[in-house]
Amino acid sequence: MANEIVLEMKHIMKIYSNGVVANEDVSLELDKGEIHALLGENGAGKSTLMKVLFGIETPDEGQIIMNGQEVTIKSPQDAISKGIGMVHQHFMLVPSLTVAENIILGVEPKKGVFIDMKKAVDEARKIAEKYNFDLDVTAKVEEIPVGIKQKVEILKALYRGADILILDEPTAVLTPQETDELFIQLEKLRKDGHTIIFISHKLDEIKKICNRATIMRNGKSMGTYNVSEISTDDMSKLMVGRDVVLKFEKKPIELKNVMMKVRDLTVYNSQGVLKVDSLSFDIKGGEILGIAGVEGNGQSELIDTLTGINKKYTGEVDIKGEDTRKKSIHDIRNLKLAHIPEDRMVSGCASNLNILENMFSNQYQQPDYSGKVMLKGKVIQKRSEDLIKEYLVKCNSYKQNVGMLSGGNIQKVIVAREFSTGPDIIIANQPTRGIDVGAASFIRQRLLEFRDAGCAVLLISADLNEIFSLSDRLAVMYKGKFSGLFTDVGQVSEETLGQYMLGLKHDEELGGVIYE
Amino acid sequence: MNSAKRFEIFRMFFSIVIALLVSFVLIFLVSKQPVEAIVTLITGPFKSKRNLANVVESMIPLIFTGTGVCIMFSANQINLAGEGAFHLGGLVASVCALQLGLPAGVSPVVALCLAALAGALFTAIPAFLKIKTSSSELVSSLMLNYLSLWFCTFILMHYICDPQVGAASFKLPAESELITLLSGTRIHLGLFIALAVAVFGYVFLYKTRMGYELRLTGENENFAKYSGVNIVKVILVSQLVGGMIAGLGGGVEILSPIYNRFSWTSLLGYGWDAIIICTLAKKNPIYTPLAALFLAYLRTGASIMSRSTDVTLEIVQITQGVIILLAVAEQFLSKTKHKMIAREAKASLKEEEAA
């Protein structure tokens, strides 16, 4: 079969308004009738590239060529009219309307000024039959299961004449059975001549269904490969870039007192789902306790509770021997606790305030920096200039708004703020996510320095490399519990850790979680 | 000054120019004497000492309510009860002046303090409701303005109304009047109070611990909470201080030589204007006198224009509307801004490669 190229994206560059370079010289080529995987970690730039293709974002450089002609895609409507359809990870359906109504929404068959509902139902049924989608088009969307909702999304795109279908992590919300069914349907669509872009980071699925894969890392394309010719190992290497092995000079551990004691901690989220399940652990000064785990297994809820953001829990959280239940976030911070938050833009900084203003939000009350009423402007200014130098924040001056800095530099501002209080306990949640190598290794080095100085560190990270090289003890969190705990981190292989992370392995008795 | 700030100033200036151009086009469309109208609009305020004084006089209340709104909006508390607080402040100051019978010198001070207190308590109602019931301060404060209006009208009609005049109070005593600064005009002491308030607002927001907490919360409440800021305190204090300043403004206005009786039976609109001032001043109280000067100048010009030509006063409303629209439209000139940012990002990419 001669390869007919239906779509080319050439040298796409996209810079967001906060100066973050999300795509840097990325090229993508789609053959007609292929399932093309777009592979990469969170924040690698997959979604941005697809937003560019679907007309949600305008690229700063680069071309899009469809069927040999250069096109500009100004909006999603424009993309749809050119035969591009997108199924978002979070469904864009109106729950109170029926399946048929959702499918025809925006392109309704009309009878005068009214919608011809009979025809709508017929047409919806017809297209469902044409693609062999077995579903009841008169059911309300709010009443159908997730797997069917996804089919509705796909039908919606097909009804609008999509030849190229973008599926954004379509299996993330599906059960294994639903996934199998989806794959059969995708295969059918492919044979019908549709081209599918399959965004994922699940390697086995890509192996199973995709023809080619373009791998992205850090906003750049790492190349396009025939899936049959590349091993999952190589794919993961390209995706994660674990070829750079982290080596840190780690001093022998010197344990101090227990700094944080957690007993039978149970947390339900606002929807009433059990997120942390009677968890107990201790951290002593001078050690780093790493928590690995697939996102969403209760890590965020655990951290929110430890730092005082969440107050709805049962069990006990002690910091330096003091129960924190009645303590405000401010009180807990006063126990010399530093917290690097998971999402730096959501709660780690105020992007419209300048670097100085972002560096003192946790310590402006200290007598060094303010009196009872007034801030000591000069002292604060001097101190922030020093911190900018010490933490190598790349900026014009302390007056620059934090939102204008790159991700790595924003993270350095946050770390400078948190570390400059001389903490006894550091809670670092994804401290190096999505930042450049230099900044990441700088932050890791600092964490080790604090450990050596007798500080207790709790490190949550999705970066296995980081967690392996920093942790003194390593716990794996799965469904709100520790499924495993390793006191000898050097002896654990990535494979073993992965099995614990996915719940394939589970230790009932955990030795060494608490110090008695 | 960094490029982002420069860009904001440029954008504000550009908005004003476009708004004026739109107004000029409209004047050309509706007027038989457009050139004359435009010339009057622009040069009218400079034509006489009285006109110039008019500009300064009408600046004063705008600075008060503008500063109040700057403080509340900086904390992202969209409380619009400044309007009602101003009104209530006027009433309270009048009642004090009429009823307490204090000597000159003391009378205005007491009246203004009570006016400020009334304003603070008034705008604290939405804050209190927000804290206790998490109701939107925007909705409750809007509704409260009518409460203020009708409450003040009630007091006016039943307790301090001068039966010989109708819908106005008894004559305010001379002891309570704020002194005139410049003979032959009505520019009064209130100007200095207003400027002091603007400076106070700036110092409060940018130099004090509380102000810092307000701005942290206003820019990112999650971040403020995570940092340990007491959000409830911020909600309450920002609205108390904002209303206090608006109430003080109402008191100053009614005790000025411009009025000799309390006769407000409809809302005056200084609370709404405050939003324009706040937008022009970019939420920084120190710029409110400039913004107020601009608005007062435009309005005085329009008023003169409406008296001497066939163009009506309302044309400035359109100018104001367009300015607000452009100033708050984040996407306006966003392409230019984006190009600027992209250029800087590309430059730093090249630097990294070179390094």
| Buried residues in A279-290 as b, exposed as e (16+ CB within 10 A) | bebbbbbbbbbb
Chain B CB within 8 Å of residue A145 CB: no
CB contact under 8 A, B226 and A352: no
CB contact under 8 A, A361 and B223: yes
- Domain contains B354: no
Most confidently modeled of A149-163, A487-501, B69-83, B324-338?
Answer: B69-83
- The shortest CB-CB distance from B216 to any of A309, A341, A361 is to A361
Q: Which H or E run contains B32?
A: none
| Torsion angles phi and psi, residue B34, rounded to 5 | -60, -45
The candidate with the shortest Cα–Cα distance to A15, out of A224, A235, A219, is A219
Structure tokens at A356: 């100085």
**Same domain for A112 and A34?**
yes
**Same domain for A332 and A352?**
no
CA dist A281 and A305 (Å) reads: 14
| Number of structural domains in chain B | 1
CB contact under 8 A, A347 and B225: yes
**Same domain for A69 and A210?**
yes
pLDDT at A21: 79
Chain A CB within 8 Å of residue B136 CB: no
- Domain contains B200: yes
Helices (H), A192-307: 203-209, 232-240, 299-306
| Number of structural domains in chain A | 3
Q: B330 pLDDT exceeds 70?
A: no
Q: Please state the length of chain A.
A: 516
Nearest CA of chain B to the CA of A301: how many Å?
Answer: 14
CB contact under 8 A, A406 and B348: yes
- Domain contains A66: yes
Residue spans of chain A under pLDDT 70: 1-2, 17-19, 42-43, 173, 240-247, 434
Mean per-residue pLDDT over chain B, rounded: 89
- Domain contains B353: no
CB contact under 8 A, A19 and B215: no
- Domain contains A274: yes
CB contact under 8 A, A375 and B230: no
Domain housing B87:
60-292
**Same domain for A132 and A219?**
yes
Which of A421, A451, A474 is the last residue in one of the domains?
Answer: A421
**Positive or negative: CA dihedral B170, B171, B175, B181:** positive
Chain B CB within 8 Å of residue A346 CB: yes
User: DSSP E strands: which ranges in A118-257?
Assistant: 164-168, 195-200, 212-217, 220-226
**Same domain for A26 and A144?**
yes
- The shortest CB-CB distance from A19 to any of B215, B219, B344 is to B344
Nearest CA of chain A to the CA of B338: how many Å?
Answer: 6
**Same domain for A385 and A408?**
yes
Chain A CB within 8 Å of residue B335 CB: no
**Same domain for A149 and A235?**
yes
CB contact under 8 A, A329 and B337: no
Mapped onto helix, strand or coil, the DSSP state of residue A32 is coil
Percentage helix, strand, coil, to 5, in chain B? 75, 0, 20
- Domain contains B187: yes
Mapped onto helix, strand or coil, the DSSP state of residue A196 is strand
The phi-psi region of residue A5 (left if phi > 0; otherwise alpha if psi is between -120 and 50; otherwise beta) is: beta
CB contact under 8 A, A361 and B224: yes
Q: Which residues of A touch B338 (CB under 8 A)?
A: 15, 17, 60
Q: B2 pLDDT exceeds 70?
A: no
Nearest CA of chain B to the CA of A507: how many Å?
Answer: 34
Measured in whole angstroms, the distance separating CA A162 from the mean position of its chain's CA atoms is 28
Higher per-residue pLDDT: A61 or B337 = A61
- Domain contains A247: no
CA dist A219 and B42 (Å) reads: 53
Reduce the secondary structure of A353-366 to three states and give it as a string.
CEHHHHHCCCCCCC
pTM of the model: 0.78
Q: Which residues contact A362 (CB under 8 A, 6 or more apart)?
A: A333, A338, A417, A418, A421, B227, B228
Q: Which H or E run contains A292?
A: strand A288-292
- Domain contains A250: no
Q: Which residues of A touch B283 (CB under 8 A)?
A: none
Q: What is the DSSP letter of B171?
A: P
Q: Which residue of B has its CA nearest to A59?
A: B342
- Domain contains A363: yes
CA dist B324 and A33 (Å) reads: 52
CA dist B289 and A453 (Å) reads: 53
Q: Which residues of B touch A357 (CB under 8 A)?
A: 212, 215-216
**Same domain for A415 and A429?**
no
CA dist B251 and B197 (Å) reads: 14
pLDDT at A312: 93
Top residue of B208, B212, B217, B332 to mutate, by most chain A CBs within 10 Å, is B212
Top residue of B217, B226, B334, B339 to mutate, by most chain A CBs within 10 Å, is B226
What CATH number is given to the structural domain containing A504?
3.40.50.300
- The shortest CB-CB distance from B226 to any of A60, A309, A374 is to A309
CA dist A392 and A413 (Å) reads: 9
pLDDT at A43: 67
Place of tokens 């409701």: B129
pLDDT digits (tens, 9 = 90+) for B211-268: 999 999 999 999 999 999 999 999 999 999 999 999 999 999 999 999 989 999 999 9
Which of A369, A393, A421 is the last residue in one of the domains?
Answer: A421
CA dist A431 and A467 (Å) reads: 11
CB contact under 8 A, A347 and B338: no
Chain B CB within 8 Å of residue A278 CB: no
pLDDT at A250: 83
- Domain contains B5: no
A428 CB burial (10 A radius; 0-12, 13-18, 19+): buried
Chain A CB within 8 Å of residue B336 CB: no
Nearest CA of chain B to the CA of A33: how many Å?
Answer: 36
- The shortest CB-CB distance from A362 to any of B208, B228, B344 is to B228
Chain A CB within 8 Å of residue B349 CB: yes
- The shortest CB-CB distance from B227 to any of A24, A361, A394 is to A361
pLDDT at B258: 92
* Cβ under 8 Å to A: B residues 273-302: none
Nearest CA of chain A to the CA of B215: how many Å?
Answer: 9
Chain A CB within 8 Å of residue B97 CB: no
- Domain contains B347: no
- Domain contains A251: no
**Same domain for A156 and A299?**
no
- Domain contains A248: no
Q: Which residues contact B353 (CB under 8 A, 6 or more apart)?
A: none
Distances in Å between the Cα of A215 and the Cα atoms of A27, A34, A50, A195 are 11, 16, 14, 18
**Same domain for A434 and A482?**
yes
Domain housing A173:
5-240
**Position B350 confidence tier, pLDDT thresholds 50, 70, 90:** confident
**Positive or negative: CA dihedral A287, A292, A297, A299:** positive
- The shortest CB-CB distance from A400 to any of B2, B207, B219 is to B2
**Same domain for A22 and A126?**
yes
**Same domain for A293 and A413?**
no
Which of A361, A390, A421 is the last residue in one of the domains?
Answer: A421
Chain A CB within 8 Å of residue B48 CB: no
pLDDT digits (tens, 9 = 90+) for B14-51: 888 888 888 889 888 888 888 988 898 889 889 888 99
Top residue of A15, A372, A401 to mutate, by most chain B CBs within 10 Å, is A15
pLDDT digits (tens, 9 = 90+) for B152-198: 999 999 998 888 888 889 999 988 888 888 888 899 999 999 999 99
CA dist A332 and A326 (Å) reads: 10
